Amino acid sequence: MNEEELATYLRLTPEFGGTRFGPYEGLEVRLGSDPERCHIVLQPELGVQAEHVKLFRESQENLILAPSERTAAVFLFRANGTRSTQVTTPTAVRPGDAFSLVTTGGHRFIIELDILPEEIREQRKKASRTGKARMNKGAILAEGKRQLLTRLLVNGPAQMAQRALTFVKSGSIFQPRYLFLGVAMFGGWVFGGVSMCSGRSMKTKLKVTNQRFENCEQELSFAENLGGNSTESSFEQLAAKVVGSTLLGEALEQDSALRALVKKKAKTVFANSKRYGWIINNTGPKATRFAQWRERIMGEDGLDEDTQRLLVWLAGSPGRLNSEFVDVSDSEGDDVCGRGALQLTYRQALSMGMDIQADAFVSKDYERIAEDKQRREGMLEDTVTAAGQPGLPDDGYSTELDPVRQGRSACLYIEGGDDRARPGAVAKKLVAHMGEDPEDLPPWGAPQSSVARLAKFWAADLMRVDFRRGVGDIDFSDSQVGAVLDGFDAKGQWVMSRTADTIARAIVIPCLAVLRGDPDKAKATLGDDMPSPVNCLVLDWKLRN
């Protein structure tokens, strides 16, 4: 039977009339008292909540039953038993199982998967026979784009790891031809290394090879654990599934300090979903800037995909924004100006070697300061000297004030070109500092590689760090991010907090778009690669409970 022809049905047990509801071809079926949100509506007088329970279809035979809230009582009756159990978390169910709402004696629904009615299948057959009419230029281009995207996704790191895992688990690796081929290849590498390298370089290459082999083993092990039922997945496994990054899951698994903080931040993002409405519903100039930044950073060849997937969310700060500037709290605990889509501070951009103009945060009376040239110059001078610069330019310059909060605060800045306002210039600098082989970062493919690069972005704001020198005073190459930042006291915790904030947004906001927003609108901002609602539902539930 073709899986596309299967649909979900719910049948009331005979004592409740035996009515069969369906077919439901969507991913989920919702039951509750709200007719606008639910597929099956029951009277609220029965104690049913507005949205009481959801049934998700994860695959042909794999379904998930989940109460919408902890207070929504749902009781599960297995097909091979008579006793019921209360469902308090997303739970795997199968066709033939049944569930009741509110009490064990409440309306009981039997879960069924069955083929679509004949008339629906006939309509689809007729529609498929008219496919020639759709052979136009637009359709061909769309199909080409789809196939290209599919090829890219199929050949991604996680998919390669899964294929390698299957190759090992199936026993194919132990076939004689592969063993001989492996020995020949390994022998060739060793012989070539001995022939071409000195003893010292040979040790270096061996160290790198061992590290890459260890990274590969870790990725295969983590990829193996990603399989199975979503309800049994850990936080880091769900994060890896949602973001599409096995390395992120490994990093969170290994770094307990970072994992705990990311979980805390993720709860906050879920609880404050309204602050991200601009991205979920693709509204306002900030959503446009986010989409432009996403397209830019994902198109940079000098960054690996795992790092790109995190750097996208540097532009995903909460709240709406109509100005080019915003007030932020820097690593020294001072209110300063952040500029551009990534809200880069002056010191942060300077550390990465960007061409920028001085700015200063004006907390009050900015209308008076607009008329006081001496005070303006003094404030700008303070910003420049605090960042270790010699002073303001000698040549004449003009200043402007950009209100951050109307009537309350503003950003004073020197007019002129500023890389922070140019997504392309920012992306190029990130590539220069976070490419494949910087000495202060783990190599691509290492579990900590993507989170270390994200932490480096935030570490650029530290007073004692200046990445223009090539290697700054902070090194992420040989340790976990949490351990490195722990040595920087309060300043390190600031970097840690900002890093965890960004990772939490990468995990939660796409789930908010799927669970609480309009996925079609969100795709215009987030792209087509949206996470599974089942994984998001389980993630939300585990964070709240």
DSSP assignment of 13-62: -GGGT--EEEEE-SSEEEEES-TTT-SEE--GGGT--TT-EEEEE-SSS-
Secondary structure (3-state) at 516:
coil
Residue 29 clears pLDDT 70, i.e. is over it: yes
Average pLDDT, the chain: 80
In eight-state DSSP terms, residue 437 is -
pLDDT of residue 470: 63
**Is residue 135 within 8 Å of 32, Cβ to Cβ?**
no
Per residue in 101-110, pLDDT (tens digit) is: 999 888 899 9
8-state DSSP, 473? S
Q: pLDDT (tens digit, 9 = 90+) per residue, 362-409?
A: 987 777 887 888 889 999 999 999 888 888 877 778 999 888 876 678
CATH of span 3-119: 2.60.200.20
What confidence score (pLDDT) does residue 52 get?
Answer: 94
pLDDT at position 267 over 90: yes
542: enclosing H helix or E strand: helix 533-544
Examine the pLDDT at 213 and tell me if it is beyond 80.
no
How high is the pLDDT of residue 163? 39
Beta strands 40-41 and 28-32 are parallel
Note the maximum CA span of the chain: 89
Q: What are phi and psi of 387, to 5 degrees?
A: -90, 5
Determine how β-strand 53-57 pairs with β-strand 28-32. antiparallel
What token pair was written down for 213? 């082999």
pLDDT over 60 (residue 2): no
The burial of 481, by beta-carbon neighbours within 10 Å (0-12 exposed, 13-18 middle, 19 or more buried), is given as buried
Q: Give tens-digit pLDDT for 119-167.
A: 887 777 766 554 444 444 444 444 444 333 333 333 334 334 443 443 4
User: Please, what is the Cα angle at 248 between 247 and 251, to 5 degrees?
Assistant: 85
- The pLDDT confidence band at residue 7, using thresholds 50, 70 and 90, is confident
- Does the pLDDT value for residue 22 go beyond 80? yes
Over residues 81-92, mean pLDDT? 85
| DSSP, residue by residue, 185-232 | HHHHHHHHHHHHS-HHHHHHHHHHHHHHHHHHHHHHHHHHHHSS-GGG
pLDDT tens sequence across 276-298? 999 988 888 899 999 999 999 99
pLDDT band at 528 (very low <50, low <70, confident <90, very high): confident
CA pair distance 422, 285, nearest whole angstrom: 15
pTM, 2 dp: 0.67
pLDDT greater than 70 at residue 315: yes
Cα angle vertex 505, ends 274, 410, to 5°?
A: 65
- Position 364 scores a pLDDT of 78
Instruction: Calculate the alpha carbon distances from 345 to 10, 71, 190 in Å.
Output: 56, 45, 49
- For residue 319, what pLDDT is reported? 86
The answer, yes or no, to whether residue 245 has pLDDT greater than 70, is yes
Q: What is the mean pLDDT of residues 450-467?
A: 94
Q: Cβ(335)–Cβ(360) under 8 Å?
A: no
Residue 208 is predicted with a pLDDT of 42
Q: pLDDT confidence of 58, banded at 50, 70, 90? A: confident
- Delimit the domains of the chain by residue range: 3-119, 139-226, 235-322+421-545
Q: What are phi and psi of 109, to 5 degrees?
A: -115, 130
When pLDDT is averaged across residues 175-179 and rounded to a whole number, the result is 44
Q: 284 is written with which tokens?
A: 């306002």
